[in-house]
Amino acid sequence: MTENEFRQGPAGGYQPHQQPYPYSNPLFQPPPPKKKGSRLALIIGSTTLAAALVGGVTGAAVAGLDSSASATTSVSAQPTAAQSTDATSAAAKVLPSVVQVTTRTSQGELLGSGVIISADGRIITNAHVVAGAEGPVTVTLSDGKQYQATVLGSDAKADIAVLQAQGASGLTAARLGDSSTVKVGQEVLAIGSPGGLQNTVTEGIVSATNRRLSDFAQRQTDPRARQTSDESSAAPSYTAIQTDAAINHGNSGGALVTTAGQVIGINSALYNPARSEDAGNIGIGFAIPVNDAKAIADRITG
C-alpha cells in the first residue's frame, strides 16, 4: 500500500480486533499528499470488516460498549437558539425511525444503521452493512426493542440493501423528502450509531451535491493499486450528497435529515486522510440521495 492509495472501508460498522480494511483493492485515489508519509483513505461507511462497509462503512462490532450508551443523543456544533430549536425538533421526529443494524458474518460482527420506511418493518440500509450476513440480522429500535430481520435484497454498486423486520408492526416510518431540491449550504443532521453509540445526532450543512464517487476511482494511478483492479468492479458507484455533518464508523445506512425532519439521504461514506481503522470524521461525508435510494429499494423488492 503506497501513500497515494485509497482503501475501501465501511462507514457503517466498527469491528475491533480485526485487520483494518479487509478489502484488498484500493478504491479511490486522492490528490497527491502535501507531505510525505501522509495517507488518504476513503472510508465507505466505517471500519468494517474489520466490520463491513459506514456500519460503520468500517465494520460493526464494538467491544466493551456499555449498553446504557444507546440511550444517549448528542448534537454537535454551537447553533443559534433558532437553529437549536429546529435541530431538536427534527431529531425528535426522526430518531424513532433510525435503527441500529447488527450483522454476523464469518469474519465477525458488523454494526451499522438503517432507516425504517414502513410501519411493518421495511428498512433501508447500505449493502456493505449486511454484506456476508450469515442468517438474519438484528435491528434495534431507538427505544431498545429488537427484531430479527431478513435481507430482502441488495445492490452493491448502489450500496443499498432492504431489510424486513420479522413480526414488526406499528413502527415509526421516516418521512422521506425530495433529494432533488437539496441546496448547498442547507442545514442537515446525520443520525445513526457511530462506534455503536445508538441515537447519535450530529449537525452540519450540505457541502456539495452530485458528487460522483466513481470519479475518485478513475483517478487511480498507482501501479500497485492496479494489481488488484479486478476487484474494483464491486466498488460502490453513485452520485452523492456531500456534507460536513460528522459521519463516522457505524453511521452507514443511517439518515441525513433536513431541519424539517425529512430524510434526504442515506449516509454511506466518509473521506479521511488517515490509514488507521480508528480514523474518524474530518468534515467530508457522503450520503446516497433518498430519491435514488427509494427507487433502488423499490426495484430490489419489486
Q: How many whole angstroms separate alpha carbon 183 and alpha carbon 21? A: 33
Alpha-carbon Rg of the chain, whole angstroms? 17
Indicate the DSSP class of residue 234: G
Assigned C-alpha cell, 272: 479521511
Q: How many whole angstroms separate alpha carbon 252 and alpha carbon 143? A: 20
Options 46, 70, 128, 142, the catalytic residue = 128
Torsion of CA 60, 64, 68, 74, to 10 degrees: -60
Options 86, 142, 159, 232, the catalytic residue = 159
Indicate the DSSP class of residue 229: G
Question: 116 with 254: CB under 8 angstroms?
Answer: no
Q: In the chain, what is the greatest distance between 2 CA atoms, to the nearest angstrom?
A: 55
**Closest CA relative to residue 264, chosen from 236, 284, 239, 294:** 294
Options 193, 252, 268, 292, the catalytic residue = 252
89 belongs to the catalytic site: no
Q: How many whole angstroms separate alpha carbon 296 and alpha carbon 302? A: 9
252 belongs to the catalytic site: yes
Assigned C-alpha cell, 23: 478489502
Report how far apart the first and last C-alpha atoms of the chain are (Å, whole number): 41
Q: Helix (H, G, I), strand (E, B), or coil: what is residue 115?
A: strand
207 belongs to the catalytic site: no
Q: Which residues are catalytic?
A: 128, 159, 252
